[in-house]
């Protein structure tokens, strides 16, 4: 029964058969940081590292039931949200989070796979922004996701992205971590934006290695540190360090 009182991160997201992304990555990351996991699966995907072959969405009611059971079973100290698949699943997840305001939620806005397959229905972005984003303490878009979230024509460079980020704050986000991993340059910079506060930059050397699931990893690592009762800024710093170390290990393997 001791397990019930230990802090858990509730992971809400999709499976990836290749293990490169999704809940497999989330579980690896959160376990490596020493925090336990509760789970609500939103979708099953059939994937290799090169392609997404099939996607099966769960019923929204089943996602909501998994979340309620997790809240009942364990002490949920933070929540990590990844692939949500449909506007109906978003609405169901948001309703359960409103019933159970226990622990900060980190939202990784998973829109498409690197190989180009949509992982969120077209038209569900509005529901994500309206129903879920305001309930989360942090949203972690990369430059491409940020542009899509605000309906901009194209992704921009890091400095202009701060303006796009301000737009997302005005649309109801509490805080945004803009991930610069897709940008060019010798350093990889992520920018934390909160309304009324100066942007904070987190910077690491850019490694010549590509690895799937780094977005899942970063949001999960941040949620794991939040579950250990660290402040948001410190959790982001620790999360970024964790991803850098994994990339470094991958580049030397
Ligand atoms: N599949 C699932 C279930 C995911 O959650 C994600 C991203 O979060 C992806 C695939 C995409 O990962 P990648 O862009 O590394 O292919």
Q: How confident is the model at residue 232, as a pLDDT?
A: 98
| Distance from the alpha carbon of residue 198 to the mean position of ligand 1, in angstroms | 31
| Distance from the alpha carbon of residue 213 to the mean position of ligand 1, in angstroms | 6
Most confident of 90-94, 115-119, 121-125, 203-207: 90-94
The model's pTM is 0.96
| Distance from the alpha carbon of residue 35 to the mean position of ligand 1, in angstroms | 22
User: In residues, how long is the chain?
Assistant: 253
| Distance from the alpha carbon of residue 19 to the mean position of ligand 1, in angstroms | 9
* Tens of pLDDT, residues 8-67: 999 999 999 999 999 999 999 999 999 999 999 999 999 999 999 999 999 999 999 999
If one residue of 55, 63, 108, 110 were mutated to test the ligand 1 pocket, choosing by the most ligand atoms within 8 A of its CB, it would be 110
* Tens of pLDDT, residues 166-202: 999 999 999 999 998 766 677 789 999 998 999 999 9
Atom of ligand 1 nearest to the CA of 112: 11
The span from the CA of 200 to the CA of 30, in Å, is: 24
| Distance from the alpha carbon of residue 197 to the mean position of ligand 1, in angstroms | 31
The span from the CA of 83 to the CA of 110, in Å, is: 5
Confidence of residue 3 (pLDDT cuts 50, 70, 90): low
Confidence of residue 157 (pLDDT cuts 50, 70, 90): confident
CB of 60 sitting under 6 A from ligand 1: no
Q: How confident is the model at residue 182, as a pLDDT?
A: 66
CB of 140 sitting under 6 A from ligand 1: no
For the chain, which domains are there? Answer: 2-252 (3.40.1190.20)
If one residue of 83, 84, 112, 250 were mutated to test the ligand 1 pocket, choosing by the most ligand atoms within 8 A of its CB, it would be 83
**Sequence-ordered list of residues with C-beta below 8 angstroms from that of 116, at least 6 positions apart, any chain:** none
- Is residue 218 within 8 Å of 243, Cβ to Cβ? yes
Atom of ligand 1 nearest to the CA of 22: 5
């Amino acid at each position: 029964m001791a397990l019930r009182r230990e802090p858990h991160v509730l992971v809400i997201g999709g499976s990836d058969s290749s293990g490169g992304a999704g809940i497999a990555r989330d579980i690896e990351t959160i376990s490596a940081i020493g925090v336990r996991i509760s789970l609500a699966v939103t979708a099953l995907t059939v994937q290799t590292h090169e392609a997404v072959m099939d996607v099966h969405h769960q019923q929204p009611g089943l996602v909501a039931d998994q979340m309620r059971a997790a809240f009942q079973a364990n002490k949920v100290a933070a929540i990590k949200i990844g692939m949500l698949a449909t506007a109906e699943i978003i609405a169901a997840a948001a309703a359960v989070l409103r019933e159970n305001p226990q622990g900060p939620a980190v939202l990784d806005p998973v829109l498409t796979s690197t190989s180009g397959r949509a992982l969120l229905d077209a038209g569900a972005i509005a529901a994500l922004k309206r129903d879920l984003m305001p309930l989360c303490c942090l949203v972690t878009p990369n430059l491409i996701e940020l542009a899509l979230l605000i309906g901009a024509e194209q992704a921009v460079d890091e400095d202009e992205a701060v303006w796009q980020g301000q737009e997302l704050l005005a649309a109801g986000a509490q805080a945004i971590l803009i991930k610069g991993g897709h940008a060019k340059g010798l350093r990889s910079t992520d920018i934390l934006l909160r309304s009324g506060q100066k942007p904070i930059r987190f910077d690491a050397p850019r490694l010549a290695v590509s690895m799937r699931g780094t977005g899942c990893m970063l949001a999960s690592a941040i949620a794991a540190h939040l579950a250990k009762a660290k402040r948001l800024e410190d959790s982001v710093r620790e999360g970024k360090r964790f991803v850098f170390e994994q990339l470094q290990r991958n580049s030397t393997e």
